[in-house]
Amino acid sequence: MNKKVQLQNLGRKDYKETWDYQEELFSSIVADKLQKRSEPEIETANYFLFVEHPHVYTLGKSGDFSNLLLSEKQLEAKGATFYKINRGGDITYHGPGQIVGYPILDLENFFTDIHKYLRLLEEAIIMVLSDYGLKGVRSDGETGVWLDVGTPFARKICAMGVRASRWVTMHGFALNVNADLGYFDNIIPCGIRGKGVTSLHVELGRAVDELEVQQKIIRYFSQLFEAEIIFN
pLDDT in tens, 3-14: 999 999 999 999
Looking at residue 143, its pLDDT comes to: 86
Confidence of residue 185 (pLDDT cuts 50, 70, 90): confident
The answer to whether the beta carbons of residues 123 and 17 sit under 8 Å apart is no
With 0-12 / 13-18 / 19 or more C-beta atoms within 10 angstroms meaning exposed / middle / buried, residue 82 is: middle
The answer to whether the beta carbons of residues 230 and 133 sit under 8 Å apart is no
Angle between helix 210-225 and 114-131 (nearest 10): 140
Looking at residue 66, its pLDDT comes to: 85
Region 97-121: what's the mean pLDDT?
A: 97
Binding residues: 87-94, 159-161, 172-174
Active site residue 190: yes
Looking at residue 96, its pLDDT comes to: 97
- Answer yes or no: pTM beyond 0.85: yes
Across 28-42, 156-170, 175-189, least confident range: 175-189
Region 152-163: what's the mean pLDDT?
A: 93
116's enclosing H/E stretch is helix 114-131
Confidence of residue 90 (pLDDT cuts 50, 70, 90): confident
Looking at residue 141, its pLDDT comes to: 84
Binding residues for substrate: 87-94, 159-161, 172-174
What is each CA distance from 42 to 1, 38, 146, 229, in whole angstroms?
10, 9, 40, 20
One-letter amino acid of 103: P
Catalytic residue among 154, 170, 181, 190: 190
- Fold topology of 4-52+94-231: BirA Bifunctional Protein; domain 2 (3.30.930)
**Cα 79 from Cα 87, distance rounded (Å):** 23
Confidence of residue 193 (pLDDT cuts 50, 70, 90): low
**Cα 194 from Cα 177, distance rounded (Å):** 22
**Cα 117 from Cα 96, distance rounded (Å):** 26
